[in-house]
Homo-oligomer: A and B are copies of this chain.
């Protein structure tokens, strides 16, 4: 079970390889990358920080919940911290199962839950020079110009 927080670039091949078992027929993978825009504004760079011990605990917890809901063979969840350039991978989740339906559903569940409960925050470095904590849900934006 590869569940980690990474300070270095994420290696997708090794993440997928970690969930392949001889019984697996379907593997689904979600890959999140840094987008060059947020709320209509141009973004140059993202920076992630985490409450690391709790983030790892919650990552394990959501994986356990997924394994209770679906008959999974293996799961990998890796989230990157620190500065992540546009187009680089910030998160990767891989799930293997005997059949693809379960792999798709569990992967979707895991990324939704990760975004809901895992204590990780991203700071957006906008092209206009301002730096703000991401407001995922169109909430009031708190500016912290640096």
Could you say which of B20, B35, B104 contacts A98, with CB atoms under 8 Å apart? B35
Q: Is the CB of B21 within 8 A of A12?
A: no
Chain A 53-88 near chain B by CB (<8 Å), digits 1 or 0:
000000000000000000000000000000000110
In the complex, chain B residues whose CB is within 8 Å of the CB of A26 = 30-32
Residue of B whose beta carbon sits closest to that of A21:
B87
Q: Is the CB of B23 within 8 A of A27?
A: no
In the complex, chain B residues whose CB is within 8 Å of the CB of A11 = 13
Q: Summarize A's interface: helix, strand, loop or mixed.
A: mixed
Interface: A16 (CB within 8 A): yes
Interface: A118 (CB within 8 A): no
In the complex, chain B residues whose CB is within 8 Å of the CB of A87 = 20-22, 24
Interface: A100 (CB within 8 A): yes
A–B complex contacts, Cβ < 8 Å, 14 sampled: A11-B13, A13-B13, A16-B29, A16-B31, A20-B31, A22-B35, A22-B87, A24-B35, A25-B35, A27-B32, A28-B28, A28-B107, A30-B100, A104-B108
When A13-B12, A104-B108, A111-B100 are in contact, do A27 and B20 touch as well, CB less than 8 Å? no
Residue of B whose beta carbon sits closest to that of A37:
B23
Residue of B whose beta carbon sits closest to that of A43:
B22
Q: Is the CB of B12 within 8 A of A33?
A: no
In the complex, chain B residues whose CB is within 8 Å of the CB of A33 = 20, 24-25, 27, 96
Chain A 26-52 near chain B by CB (<8 Å), digits 1 or 0:
111111110111000000000000000
